[in-house]
A and B are shown apart, each in its own frame.
Chain A
Amino acid sequence: MTNKPRIKVPDQIRKGEIIQIKTLVAHDMENGLRRDQAGKVIPRKIINRFTCSFNGKPVFACDLEPALAANPYFVFSVRVDESGLFNFTWTDDDGT
């Protein structure tokens, strides 16, 4: 993984505001159905789960399937009542 994930969140907001979070991660999302030039199946390697938590509480999570295109991009909304820390995780098939 050479590219760090990219996240867009507003810097400062009002209490109780609903904000939009955008995330983008560089990943091939190899679906396991394609063949290389020698005709061998390229093994599946995708991000299969994405999670986002705020101050330890889950706010958004989803499972990803092989049909997703490369470089998954998520946009979701969160209501924020306190200052705090968002944690984002992307889990790959091989755990990397």
Chain B
Amino acid sequence: MIFARSWIVIGAAIPLLAASVLISIGLAPAATPERAAPLATDGPAAARPWIRYGGWPNRDTSKFNSLSTMVSPPPPKAPRTITTPLAGDPIAGQKLVADRTRGGSCIACHVMGPAGGADLPGNVGPDLSEIGTAGRDDEWLFNYIYDARVYNPATVMPPWGTHGLLSDSEIGDIVAFLKTLTRPAPFKSELDDPSRRPIPREQRDNLDPMINPAVWAVEERAPALWKSPGPGGAACVSCHAAPEQAFKTWAAAMPRWEPRLGKVLGVEEFVARHAKATTGHDWLMESEENIALSTYLRYLANGALINVDGESAPAKATYERGEALSTRKIGALNFSCADCHSGDKGAQKWIRGQWLGELRGQLDHFPTWRTSQQSIWDIRKRFQWCQVAIWADDLPPDASEYGDLELYLAAQNAGQKLSVPGIRH
């Protein structure tokens, strides 16, 4: 049984008049050098071997690029020559364009009229409802599906043939189906038309504990952990008695280059390594304790503007590495971050029923409650899911590649106000 009580008082509300005068005298300490926070620098900050979260797809994508390895097969140098007409089956092709067992299906990015048979088509790629009247021959259609890079090196289309996702005969079936598409798509509703589908806007009050369960971690779990002594008897509170004051802006300048580790340190990895060095707690990244404290530290900086160091020499090098990683094509579907989230490619468009946002606006609310997952996700877990979703291998959350990427992302979000924990679907 859980009990709760609440007093209520009848009476006219009395306006409270209060006047206060605050005088503060600031004495700058005479050139105190900033003391580097202790960090446990040896060993990883996350579980090893890293095992993908339960319930996530476990397909083998090791023969494709990841953020740490480059192993994908190269694009073909020339189109395959097709001399005799392809004898594909348009009925089988119609099934294949909506088949989501090999990536998101063609419908995820292309409108294909009612024939595609799937709701909520996307618009990352062009509308193919009339491709059958476009005068394209079998060879061109076949090669565009097999590996569109032979015609357009900058394409975001997955290389279905080169990466072995579709066989030659399946591509032939899809070509046969495409040739049957000759009329503009009629849409059943506004929702079905990606050019008219309303753009999702998050309007829930993310800081209301009645709405966002992640706030509970900030209000209850994190303050309890703050006081919980480690094996040596020390707790966070032993050194940081007034975290609300001390960490008003701290998290807004994270992640940052950390010379002692030779990589970029985010809030989550900092919590793991600093807690280990000072209290002895093993609060590895992605543990419940780590997520609660990392959410809390970013929450304390709410209202502060994201302002990471991208100017010092190592930070600049990091930024450049992050930028390069954000354009690296990875996974069986061969997408880079930029393919979906940069304005000149897929951003501000629909992939299936999901709206692709730009990089700016993707960090201010992390860690965030995810109603679809009923849990708090930090930015590293979000990175990991992006990769698994495009059929690429994820990395451990403390991987230096994620640090580079997080710094680059934070720089794209400079000046945005932190509002943590967020709430998203």
Within 8 A of B (CB), among A55-96: 70-71, 73, 80, 82-92, 95-96
Q: A83 with B374: in contact, given A2-B220, A26-B213, A88-B4 (CB under 8 Å)?
A: no
- Chain B residue at smallest Cβ distance from A92: B1
Q: Contact at B209–A24, with CB atoms within 8 Å?
A: yes
With A9-B8, A84-B8, A86-B8 given, is the CB distance from A26 to B3 under 8 Å?
no
Q: Is the CB of A83 within 8 A of B8?
A: yes
> In the bound complex, what is the Cα–Cα distance between A27 and B12 (angstroms)?
37
| Contact, CB under 8 Å: B5 / A86 | yes
> For the complex, is B11 an interface residue (Cβ under 8 Å from A)?
yes
A95 vs chain B, min Cβ distance (A):
7
Asked if A3 and B1 sit within 8 Å, CB to CB, the answer is no
A87-B3 contact, Cβ under 8 Å, with A12-B13, A24-B210, A37-B54: yes
Q: Are B2 and A85 neighbours in the complex by a CB distance under 8 Å? A: no
Q: How far is the CA of A71 from the CA of B298 in the complex (A)?
A: 25
Given A12-B9, A13-B10, decide whether A5 and B210 contact each other with a Cβ distance below 8 A.
no
Chain B residue numbers with a CB within 8 Å of A95 are 1
| 19 further contact pairs, Cβ within 8 A, besides A14-B10, A89-B2 | A4-B220, A5-B4, A8-B210, A9-B6, A11-B8, A12-B8, A24-B209, A24-B210, A25-B2, A26-B213, A82-B10, A84-B8, A85-B6, A85-B7, A85-B8, A86-B5, A88-B6, A90-B1, A90-B2
Contact of B216 among A3, A7, A87 (CB under 8 A): A3
Contact A12 B10 (CB under 8 A): yes
B321 — which chain A residues lie within 8 A by C-beta? none
Q: List 16 A-B contacts (CB under 8 A).
A: A8-B210, A11-B9, A13-B8, A22-B210, A24-B209, A24-B210, A83-B10, A84-B7, A85-B6, A87-B4, A88-B6, A89-B1, A89-B2, A90-B1, A91-B1, A92-B2
Cβ of A15 within 8 Å of any chain B Cβ, yes or no, is yes
CB-based nearest B residue for A75: B210
Let me know if A2 and B221 touch, CB within 8 A: yes
Does the CB pair A26–B7 fall under 8 Å?
Answer: no
- Complexed CA–CA distance, A84 and B12 (Å): 16
Is A38 an interface residue, CB under 8 A from the partner? no
Indicate with 1 or 0, residue by residue over B1-40, a CB within 8 angstroms of chain A CB atoms. 1111111111111000000000000000000000000000
- On chain A, which size bracket covers the interface? 35 or more
What residues of chain B lie closer than 8 Å to A11, measured between beta carbons?
8-9
CB-CB contacts below 8 Å: B182-229 with A: 209-210, 213, 216, 220-221
A39 at the interface (CB under 8 A from B): no
Q: With A2-B220, A22-B210 given, is the CB distance from A85 to B5 under 8 Å?
A: yes
Of chain B, the residue at the smallest CB distance from A70 is B374
User: Looking at B7, B10, B221, which has the most chain A CB atoms within 10 Å of its CB?
Assistant: B10
A6 part of interface (Cβ distance < 8 Å): yes
Q: On chain B, which size bracket covers the interface? A: 20 to 34
Instruction: Give min CB distance, A40 to chain B, whole Å.
Output: 15
A80 and B221 form a contact (CB under 8 A): no
Q: How far is A61 from B336 in the complex, measured between Cα atoms in Å?
A: 54
- Which chain B residues lie closer than 8 Å to A86 at the CB level? 5-8
- A residues with CB within 8 A of B: 1-15, 19, 22-26, 37, 70-71, 73, 80, 82-92, 95-96
From residue A48, how far is it (CB to closest CB) to chain B in Å? 11
Question: Closest residue to A54 on the B side, CB-wise?
Answer: B8
Tell me how far the C-beta of A28 lies from the nearest C-beta in chain B, rounded to whole angstroms: 10
- In angstroms, Cα B209 to Cα A37, docked, is 31
CB closest chain-B residue, reference A11: B9
Interface residues in B127-180 (C-beta closer than 8 Å to A): none
Give 8 closest A-B pairs by Cβ, nearest first.
A90-B2, A88-B4, A86-B6, A5-B4, A83-B10, A12-B13, A3-B216, A9-B6
Q: How far is the CB of B208 from chain A (nearest CB, A)?
A: 10
A27 to chain B, nearest CB (A): 9
Determine if B2 and A15 form an interchain contact, defined as CB atoms under 8 angstroms apart.
no
- Distance to closest chain B CB from A15 (angstroms): 5
Q: Is the CB of A12 within 8 A of B11?
A: yes
Contact between chains at B3 and A88 (CB < 8 Å): yes
User: CA–CA, A24 to B2, complex, Å?
Assistant: 12
User: What residues of A have a CB within 8 angstroms of the CB of B210 in the complex?
Assistant: 6, 8, 22, 24, 73
Separation in Å of the B61 CB from the closest CB of chain A? 23
Distance, CA A83 to CA B12, complexed state (A): 12
Chain B residues lying within 8 Å of A19, measured Cβ to Cβ, are 8
- A19 to B10 CA separation, bound complex (whole angstroms): 12
B109 CB to nearest chain A CB (Å): 33
Residue of chain A at shortest CB distance from B13: A12
Q: CA separation between A96 and B6, bound complex, in Å? A: 21
A37 CB contacts on chain B under 8 angstroms: 54
A-facing residues in B366-380 (Cβ within 8 Å): 374
